[in-house]
Chains A and B, each alone.
Chain A
Amino acid sequence: MFKNIRSYFQRTETAAWVLLFPSLLCLTIFLFIPLIMSFGLAFFDVTIFLKQFKFVGLDNFIELLQDDRFWNALGNTVYFTIMVVPCGILFSLAVALFVQGNSLFQRFLRVSYYVPVICSMTAMGIVWAVLMDPTIGMFAFWIRQLGFENVQLLKDPNLAMPLIAAMTIWKTFGQNMIILVAGLQAIPDEYYDASMIDGANKWKQFFHITLPSLIPTLGFCVTTSTISSFMVFDQTYVMTRGGPLFRTETLAQYVYTRGFVISPFRLGYASSVAFVLFIVIAAISIAMYYFFTKKETEGL
């Protein structure tokens, strides 16, 4: 009998489940169960005080379709993502190409560029909000010194979101840069040697060797950046609170505002917005996975 038990635990599959168990338990308690409960709440009219549950079916979703503020938040989130993901990835790639070597200086730069990544987004958001303040901020001061009078920065409805996007790129590009450096260093030198013998210049090497070899890495960076951009909350919350004129209110912030800020704290409705956000992110992630898998197999 003991022999049977021993052989059972020696099976690779069993060992894997045993090792996975603590993580799965935590994920179930803190992620899967709240996720399912949140989906369930989307079908109820209930406030945060959870006192009266009223089943309303799809009413929350129907209301959502007619909610201008929801569409505004969705538009803002897409706008933010469109700015942050391509610009952020391109910037990370450019920096990664510059610092991919292993000289002391390049290693120092890699560490320096990674520092903002390990800082708290909330703390950085507060610092940048002060820097960008139109009255007491340093940026506004220098812009005025250059002769520009009406400097509103974060109080300008048209500038607020691009400025938050710029701050986000500054804060996060180091992460993608490190991943891309790893991807670049994994490309065999022989490819470049062979191409040089064939007379390829730097641009040709980049487009015909570097970029195709980086597709899996780029796919990972684009997908994770897109997901985190769709979930943007911290920086908009601390820098503008969704203003001015709701121009920086994103979907995640709208969920929070509906559920926790605006009386009567409609948790059911907030859950329906969160449900939509989940579907949007899932759809984009799946689409990106297939796109990059296809590109990886077919080449650029």
Chain B
Amino acid sequence: MKAKRLWLTVFSILLAVIMITGCTGGVQTRTDSGAADKSTDTAATGGQKSVKIQFWNGFTASDGDILREIFDRFNAQNDKGITVEMDIMPWDNLFEKLAPALATGTAPALLLLGSEYVPEYASTGNIIPMDDFWDWSGLNKEIYAQNVRDAFKYKGTTYGIPMQYNTMYLYWNKDIFAEAGLDPEKPPKTFDELKKYAALMTDKSKQQYGFGIALGHSNITNFLWSNGGDWLNSDQTEAACNSPEMIEVLTMLQEFAINGHTPVGMSGADLDNLLFAGQLGMYINGPWLINGCRQNNLNFGIGAVPAANNGNLQVPGGGCAYMVTSSASEEQKIAAYEAVKYWLSKDVLKEWSMRNGFPAWSEEVLADPDIKNDLIQNTLGPLTKYGRLPFAGMPEYKQMASEYLDPLFEQLMYQQITPEECAKKMAEGINAVLKK
């Protein structure tokens, strides 16, 4: 009996020890800012201090595989003990995770975000200024296109070092063009041609659509500027979108839905899949689809978005930049800078452009013979001049988009409102946010 009690006591003590040690886990160090420094491993490894940084991005397509390959190489090659731990997730999930992570100081040190997010995250102090990057890195910033560098500034301060820059392009399925009796080498040049071609290529019996319009107001911007309209007045103090130019564009987009030439209610990812499946004649998107088209053996073309009937062309431009969050310690910031410096090397930028199709934006890459002879680069490079940042420098942009512009565009495509009502309500929404 006594022996049984003894065994029970020993077992209980052992269990308690296991539980307590299990619960404590590793000891976390804290940075000066108070943020949990979970991603810094300061254990000495043969005299070399190793630093781990988390890196979040939304490159879920094939471009993410290339990105991961490049950073795996960086991890293996850098002699400073830096490890970049990449976490790729859909953009929606990224933003939903990012806000609470920033609030609790547990955000990753390094982020890849689009230029449109700079004002919002910079104005709230969630990403830190990176003006010191160029001096720190010793890189000659002049060889990198100035408009690209400036795309990630907020009130004159740099908050992001560019990763890539692009405008929007028209993809078309050459096989569907040929089946519809169109010349596969001659994509539509104007709005009218776009409408005509979309009608010719739509075949409901095959679930085949002539043109894909995803939900999201950026589909309006693809045509609005070319048509002479704009979202805001020149000093960005008032909405300018309740205009005949806007109504004309909205009418055209709604007609695609009414005529069944575009599927309605589709997300960008839905349409990407439809394009890859060979069920979409034409689609406007960024260069990140090039690789997917190649991998799916799609006989495709890529070129300029159709211009207005008067020949005017201006489309949304932008890109992604590396940004350092307020959760990063000084040590992590330097590690992030090292990773960004590696990215800006000629070989990496060239590899990204060649394998992924993104237009080159540094002088030394542009001068490279392989780039000069690449068909995609030769097609997309000259189109960069037509790009323009939408809602540049406006922290209120995302609120305008999610509260008013996107829901109203969805209503338009589902034919719940007329183009006139849509334009009016969008203007009212923008003004309401600006007033706040």
Contact = CB atoms under 8 A, between A and B. Distances in A.
Nearest to B401: A263
Contacts of B124: 47, 49, 51
A149 B206 CA distance: 11
Interface stretch (A99-107, A226-234, A241-249): A241-249
B96 A243 contact: no
Given A244-B265, A244-B410, A265 B416 contact: no
Contacts of A263: 120, 398-399, 402
Interface in A232-280: 241, 243-246, 260-265
A133 B263 CA distance: 12
A197 B245 CA distance: 84
B185 to A, nearest CB: 28
B370 interface: no
A51 B124 CA distance: 9
Contacts of B120: 263
B66 interface: no
B261 to A, nearest CB: 14
Contacts of A244: 265, 410, 414
Given A152-B265, A244-B410, A263-B399, A50 B416 contact: no
Interface stretch (B151-159, B266-274, B374-382): B266-274
A12 B96 CA distance: 48
A135 B207 contact: yes
Contacts of B274: 135-136
B204 A157 contact: no
Interface stretch (B77-85, B97-105, B161-169, B305-313): B97-105
Interface string B7-38: 00000000000000000000000000000000
Interface string A116-138: 00000000000000000111100
Contacts of B270: 133, 135
B348 interface: no
Interface string B392-410: 0000001100110001001
Given A152-B265, A244-B265, A48 B100 contact: yes
A195 B266 CA distance: 59
B279 interface: yes
A157 B270 CA distance: 17
Nearest to B273: A136
B402 A260 contact: no
B410 A50 contact: no
A155 interface: yes
B99 A157 contact: no
B291 interface: no
Interface in B83-118: 92, 95-96, 99-100, 102-103
B353 interface: no
Contacts of A157: 414
A155 B257 CA distance: 13
A45 to B, nearest CB: 12
B243 interface: no
12 contacts: A48-B100, A48-B103, A133-B270, A135-B266, A135-B273, A155-B264, A243-B410, A245-B411, A246-B407, A261-B96, A262-B403, A263-B120
